[in-house]
């Protein structure tokens, strides 16, 4: 902790925020990284415990995975994305723990299936109950993942001056118009140059799009927010939300 305190005392004005510390760490300050991770162990432990639904000890594999995920979040954090470091870290930690739990559960399922072939009826019933419990837990995990995706997508929308409420209010009312807007969004998401334009300018490349779609510029401008939101969703790391949108597109 001493190196972290000295680092902060060397600053002339206000103490650094955790986000500012992350930027300094990304610039190579390893001492602050070590002390920051040590200081936020309770946060990591609470986050891991909330996923595992049990108390986590320092010796648990899940805790080690959580610390590594927190480290990864610090290194990958981008302050211009709009979320706090802790909010971003929570999502990263939760995803890593969920991946670990799923891997372990798949291995258990395989062992249970193998053992069930050589067990009596009572033992098989016990295995079935365990499988059902695992499946129920998996459903909870999926719900948690959806929640995390919604949080991160909300942050993404904020970069473009939008909110979920904007998307709901400005979604095309008619199914045909909505399908057309989705089709345009899918074309944008599939074109690296258009996505780069969208990322830098925070607006659609309407001039280029006019030559590739069958609707007018005025129509695209009217549905601008909806098209941008769907393009961002399709281009990002949102598998559950993407599955929902693709289902809507195929209707």
Half-sphere exposure of 22 (CA within 13 A, CB side): 20
For residues 170 and 218, state if they share a domain. yes
Distance CA 247, CA 251 (A): 6
Parent domain of 96 = 40-104+142-159
| 129: pLDDT strictly greater than 70 | no
Note whether residue 109 is domain-resident: no
Asked if the structure places residue 14 within a domain, the reply is no
3-state secondary structure the chain: CHHHHHHHHCCCCCCCCHHHHHHHHHCCCHHHHHHHHHHCHHHHHHHHHHHHCCCCCCCCHHHHHHHHHHHHHHHHCCHHHCCCHHHHHHHHHHHHHHHHHHHHHHHHHHHHHHHHCCCCHHHHHHHHHHHHHHHHHHHHHHHHHHHHHHHHHHHHHHHCCCCHHHHHHHCCCCHHHHHHHHHHHHHHHCCHHHHHHHHHHCCCCHHHHCCCCCCCHHHHHHCHHHHHHHHHHHHCCCHHHHHHHHHHHCC
pTM of the entire structure?
0.56
Are 190 and 230 part of one and the same domain? yes
Residues 204 and 239 in one domain: yes
User: What is the Cα–Cα distance from 135 to 116, expressed in whole angstroms?
Assistant: 17
Give the position of tokens 């190196």: 3
Domains in the chain, number: 2
Provide mean pLDDT across the span 225-247.
85
pLDDT beyond 50 at 190? yes
Same domain, 153 and 183: no
Q: Are 71 and 154 in a shared domain?
A: yes
Residue 181 and residue 148 share a domain:
no
- pLDDT score, position 241: 85
CB of 44 closer than 8 Å to CB of 66:
yes
The tokens describing 114, both together, are 């193998």
Question: Residue 107: which residues within 8 A CB-CB, separation 6 or more?
Answer: none
Specify whether 245 is located in the same domain as 187.
yes
Is 189 inside any structural domain?
yes
Does 77 share its domain with 149?
yes
CA distances to 18, 47, 51, 156, 197 from 54, in Å: 28, 11, 8, 31, 46
Give the pLDDT of residue 14.
46
Residues 168 and 152 in one domain: no
- Mean pLDDT (whole number) for 78-103: 84
The predicted model gives 159-182 an average pLDDT of 85
Determine the average pLDDT of the residues in 226-246: 86
64 with 148, same domain: the answer is yes
Specify the higher pLDDT residue, 64 or 112: 64
pLDDT value of position 130: 59
């Amino acid at each position: 902790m001493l190196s972290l305190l000295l680092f902060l005392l060397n600053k002339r004005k206000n103490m650094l925020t955790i986000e500012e510390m992350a930027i300094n760490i990304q610039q190579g300050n390893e001492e602050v990284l070590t002390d920051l991770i040590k200081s936020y162990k309770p946060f990591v432990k609470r986050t891991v415990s909330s996923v595992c639904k049990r108390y986590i000890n320092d010796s648990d594999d899940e805790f080690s995975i959580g610390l590594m995920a927190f480290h990864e979040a610090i290194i990958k954090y981008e302050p211009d994305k709009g979320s706090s470091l802790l909010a971003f870290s929570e999502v990263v930690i939760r995803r890593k723990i969920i991946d670990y739990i799923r891997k372990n559960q798949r291995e258990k399922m395989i062992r249970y299936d193998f053992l069930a072939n050589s067990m009596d009826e009572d033992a098989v019933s016990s295995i079935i109950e365990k499988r059902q419990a695992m499946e129920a837990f998996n459903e909870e995990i999926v719900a948690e993942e959806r929640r995390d995706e919604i949080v991160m997508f909300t942050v993404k929308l904020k970069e473009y001056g939008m909110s979920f409420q904007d998307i709901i209010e400005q979604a095309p009312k008619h199914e045909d118009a909505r399908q057309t807007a989705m089709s345009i969004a899918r074309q944008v998401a599939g074109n690296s140059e258009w996505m780069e334009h969208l990322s830098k300018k925070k607006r659609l490349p309407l001039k280029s799009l006019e030559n590739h779609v069958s609707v007018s510029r005025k129509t695209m401008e009217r549905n601008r927010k909806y098209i941008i939101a769907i393009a961002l969703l399709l281009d990002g790391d949102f598998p559950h939300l993407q599955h929902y949108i693709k289902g809507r597109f195929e209707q």
